[in-house]
Structure 1
Amino acid sequence: MSLTQRNAGKDKDMAPLLRPRQSLSAERFSPYFTVLKSQPYNDPNSRTGGSNNLRSIAWNPVGTLVATGSTDKTLRVWNPEKPHIKFSTELKGHLGSVEKVAFNPTKDAELCSISSDGVAKFWDVRTKACFNEVKGLGEAFTLAWAPDGQTLIVGNKDDNIFVLSPTSPTPLASHQQSIQTNQIAFCWSGEKIFLTTSEGHIRILSYPNFEPVLRVAYGDNEEFQLNGHTSSCLTAELQPTGRYLATGGSDSIIALWDTRRWLCQRTITTMVGPVRSISFTFDGSFVVGGSDEGSGLDVTHTETGEKIHTFKTAGSCPVVAWAPTRYWLAYSDLGVLRIIGIDDKK
């Protein structure tokens, strides 16, 4: 049965169902989402309110689970299609704010979380077991898995970056940075990492050696960096197709860099406040940024830079995360996880 046949006779105000990895054109995006409502995922046990309570959102690689970390030490894994808290799993153990969570990109039930308590914990979501932990990481706040799932990077507020393994109780290596380093992203081969800095630059280093990949000129020792922000660069996200690297800064700008020539192709200037997070749809066609100021989430078409839709929100949304296989957008709204795109009528 075709998609058209399945939708025949349905209420015309309902959005058509999309199969996993079925893309939308720019023209169809807004009509599709206009008729959908966001779904809240409330945690009645949450002990801290405010828009910054929810610090991190992460999907597992197949899009069947979404994890959240909060300032009240809560680490919870939700079933996106069953929003009631009884279908979620709380993972207990952190003694400080859970600053970042991320699933192993090669294992749909292996999760890493880091906290201001200086501990990275590795979890098996199926059993709720913490099967490894690494202590003594300082005020850790940034986390990125290598694409092969064998190692990951954790950075702290003293600008020390640790390389961890999910099977080792001690860091494999550490790299002290000379300038404030905010977030880190991997290229899809795992051979390069992108470091955002307080100077507004983005460094491109080799992994795992942490050596500059490019120089300003042949034979020159000066490191080539991306210079696209007038103030601190806070976040970076590589497009799933690998063509663009998106960076966001405290200057409220999202810059899209061509990864072949490392030129800024376009900038997105509709954001209000510092850009705290960036996320692409699974096909790389659309991008959205999160900020802890203003309200609403603007969706931009990656290739044209045109704003094509705005999701209405109650308040600021600093954390955004598109699902890896569908047009499901998870975001924090006044400290509560919400997801839009899930058809609750099917």
Structure 2
Amino acid sequence: MSHLKFENDVNQLLRLDSAFTDGPVPRWQRKAMESSRCSGPSNNTSLNSSCRNMSLNVSGCTPMKTSNRASAKTPSHTPGKAKTPRSGRKSKTPGKSKTPGNNAKTPKTPVADRFIPNRSASNFELGNFKCNADKVHVDEEMLSPSKQQYQEAMSENLNGNVVNSKILAYKNKAPQAPEGYQNNMRVLYSQTKTPSSTRKVTRHIPQVPERILDAPEILDDYYLNLLAWSCNNHLAVALGNSVYLWNAGTGDIQQLMSMSGPEDYVSAVSWIAEGNFLAIGSSNAEVQLWDVAAQKRVRNMTSQSSRVGSLDWNVYILSSGSRAGTIHHHDVRIADHHVATLDGHTQEVCGLKWSPDGRYLASGGNDNLLNIWGYQCTREGNVPLHTLTQHQAAVKALSWCPWQASVLASGGGTADRCIRFWNANTGHCLNTVDTKSQVCSILWSKEYKELISGHGFANNQLTIWKYPTMAKVTELTGHQARVLHMAMSPDGTTVVSAAADETLRLWKCFAVDPQKKPAQKSHPDKKTNTLLRQQIR
């Protein structure tokens, strides 16, 4: 029988759906037993008796502590009551502070570093509405258009303009600080507008030309100067052996002159500052002066021994540079026009520019030299003030800064490809920029602190630079051959470029803001034109 009892015990242990009778009492039964003991007899006597029997059958179980035993334990001190102070010591009542006497000083209220506004005017209902606006919108999509308009009208009448209303509204302004108070954090909490110096102003520069004109038979010669724009808005272009005038205002084109010899050609053109006379240099070493209004030649000045490739005016003094390397000054007011000769180059003079104030004359040649001459050289002396040898190629591109009369920009040819800035007073180089391309011409902007350069091999583009950082603003592309010449309109907004691809392209890259600057007068004074017309012989 013993083995049958053992087998029965094993089977009971292996059954998982029967209750364990030999294990410890579960926690919920112990809780029920404790509660029944504290509360007295319960209606559920069967549950109590079963729990009692199960607790007695558990072997090795530690008896639980009853609540009566736990409540009989007296605590060491009564909570909520203060200790009785000993004799000789002052009692301190917790939670109470000392009352200041008559001699005590009232502390000053410190000045706040920043103003924290009162948020009592905050409309949290509006914030909740805006957070749940998407759900409302989904429900409104199921409505008809008429019902949607009706609900929108009702919402606007009841709640006002919910879209533009603010959730947080600060009605109280910050208090004024005491006199003499300085706050180091004032910049962080100020609500002033952003200063104009920190605003990034950008302007639109068209990447395509405003107009394209044909220039057939324009000579592909780096050392010539075949383009000039007068103050009367007349553009002079030398094409082969002829000079044409294009009126930028009306668009009319007329032929001014043509060379008589079959092998002769025009090598340079230059307008007088007043714009009524045009100087023309030719390959037969002549310098002609033409009256544009009358369309007739005023005089023919012959003093050079070879072709005249560069011309520039200084009031009534016309300077001409030749292939022989000499520079002649012509006084157009007198019969004996040749007044001075400058010998500072050993090869052809391809660049010639007077400074805006008339104090300096810059000349660049094919001998890689850049000379700066003083005004006294028009009367006496043949020694330049500065001879600059930093360029490694021919120096044709020359331009004086319009707002700094003593700053000169010069550009080198294919072997140099650099734009250099000079101080004409000292002869020092201020800055050098490698353009990665042949520099053929340079022009300064009259409105912005920028300059534009025309390039030949190998990019054939126009580049706008920021001065004095020389950061590249933009590049204007479109020419299929090197850009040999550039000229600027009298108002300073448009640049015309002439390239070896026989086209003229007009770029409106320096447009003036009409609110900042009024329109300039493009026509000179009539009295000045009449006086110069009488003086020229």
Could you tell me which of 298, 313, 324 is aligned with 1:131? 298
Q: For the structure 1 residues 238 and 55, does the alpha-carbon distance in structure 2 shift closer, same or farther, using more than 3 Å as the test?
A: closer
1:320 is matched with 486
Q: Distance in 2 between matches of 1:318 and 1:271?
A: 16
The answer as to 2:213 corresponding to 1:41 is yes
**What is the letter of the counterpart of residue 161 of structure 1?**
I
CA root-mean-square deviation? 2.8
- Once the two structures are superposed, residues 256-314 of structure 1 have per-residue CA deviations (whole angstroms, 9 ceiling, x without a partner) of 223454432222322412x2221112246222222332322111112210110111123
The answer to which structure has the higher helix fraction is: 2
Q: For the structure 1 residues 210 and 182, does the alpha-carbon distance in structure 2 shift closer, same or farther, using more than 3 Å as the test?
A: farther
Q: For the structure 1 residues 176 and 261, does the alpha-carbon distance in structure 2 shift closer, same or farther, using more than 3 Å as the test?
A: closer
2:444 is matched with 280
Q: For the structure 1 residues 245 and 26, does the alpha-carbon distance in structure 2 shift closer, same or farther, using more than 3 Å as the test?
A: farther
1:174 is matched with 341
Q: For the structure 1 residues 263 and 170, does the alpha-carbon distance in structure 2 shift closer, same or farther, using more than 3 Å as the test?
A: closer
Could you tell me which of 215, 237, 254 is aligned with 1:68? 237
- Once the two structures are superposed, residues 187-232 of structure 1 have per-residue CA deviations (whole angstroms, 9 ceiling, x without a partner) of 2232321222444332222231354464xxxxxxxxx433431233
Contact 1:102/1:145 (<8 A) preserved: yes
Q: Which structure 1 residue ranges, 5 or more long, are not aligned?
A: 1-24, 215-223
Could you tell me which of 320, 323, 326 is aligned with 1:160? 326
Q: Distance in 2 between matches of 1:63 and 1:286?
A: 24
- Give the CA deviation at 1:154: 0.7
Q: Distance in 1 between matches of 2:488 and 2:244?
A: 18
**Identity of matched residues, %:** 17
2:498 is matched with 332
Q: Which structure 2 residue ranges, 5 or more long, are not aligned?
A: 1-198, 512-537
**What is the letter of the counterpart of residue 507 of structure 2?**
I
1:56 is matched with 226
The TM-score normalised by the length of structure 2 is: 0.50
> Which has the bigger relative contact order, CA under 8 A and spacing at least 6?
1
Q: For the structure 1 residues 271 and 175, does the alpha-carbon distance in structure 2 shift closer, same or farther, using more than 3 Å as the test?
A: same
**What is the letter of the counterpart of residue 283 of structure 2?**
S
- Once the two structures are superposed, residues 313-346 of structure 1 have per-residue CA deviations (whole angstroms, 9 ceiling, x without a partner) of 2322111122242210111131222212299xxx
- Give the CA deviation at 1:144: 1.2
Structure 2 counterpart SS, 1:172: strand
Q: For the structure 1 residues 26 and 109, does the alpha-carbon distance in structure 2 shift closer, same or farther, using more than 3 Å as the test?
A: farther
Q: For the structure 1 residues 260 and 50, does the alpha-carbon distance in structure 2 shift closer, same or farther, using more than 3 Å as the test?
A: closer
The answer to which structure has the higher strand fraction is: 1
The 5-angstrom pairing of residues 104-115 of structure 1 reads: 104-105=272-273, 107-115=274-282
1:118 is matched with 285
The TM-score normalised by the length of structure 1 is: 0.76
Q: For the structure 1 residues 178 and 308, does the alpha-carbon distance in structure 2 shift closer, same or farther, using more than 3 Å as the test?
A: closer
Contact 1:280/1:322 (<8 A) preserved: no
